[in-house]
Amino acid sequence: MDMMGIIWLSIIVIFVIVEALTVQLLCIWFAAGALIALIVAMLGAPEWVQITVFVICTALLLILTRPIAKRLMQRPREFTNADRVIGATAVVIHEINNDSAEGQVKVLNQIWTARSLSGEILPVDAKVVVHSIEGVKVIVAKYE
């Protein structure tokens, strides 16, 4: 293997390592382009041909296959029963005070630990709207 073959092999290894560390599905296309350039180098092509092949193959792989790969890698959001409470009206059953980490609401006949979205103290029997879920707590805002 000549010097350019060793360089292409090194480039492949570097891009594969970077891809494994980042998992962004970007460096793998450069590694594939370098692999094709390595094959061209082993066939005895001049350096300018190898570099041209690398650039063209990498660009084509990025343009043609990356969008497909990204679509296949995305997982649709899995909705749970807990997601039903988002947007629902709730009633404060234990005063919500973010500073003392206290508060509960009753929403859809379920009792949830609650925190105020704005940080304000919400008294018992206040109507609130569930804004989001963080862990086992609902984040609520005053009902308008």
pLDDT at position 56 is: 96
Condensed to tens digits (0 to 9), the pLDDT of residues 30-46 reads 999 999 999 999 999 99
* Phi, psi values for residue 107, rounded to 5°: -135, 130
Instruction: Report, as an integer, the average pLDDT of 49-78.
Output: 86
DSSP SS3 for 73: helix
In this structure, which topology does domain 81-142 adopt according to CATH? OB fold (Dihydrolipoamide Acetyltransferase, E2P) (2.40.50)
Helix 3-22 to helix 47-73 angle (10° resolution) is: 20
pLDDT at position 135 is: 87
pLDDT at 123 over 70: yes
pTM for this prediction: 0.53
Task: Classify residue 74 by burial, with Cβ atoms within 10 Å: 0-12, 13-18, 19+.
Answer: exposed
Condensed to tens digits (0 to 9), the pLDDT of residues 71-99 reads 877 777 666 667 788 999 999 999 999 99
Confidence of residue 67 (pLDDT cuts 50, 70, 90): confident
Q: Tell me the C-alpha distance between 114 and 100, whole Å.
A: 12
Q: Tell me the C-alpha distance between 73 and 70, whole Å.
A: 5
Domain ranges of the chain: 3-73, 81-142
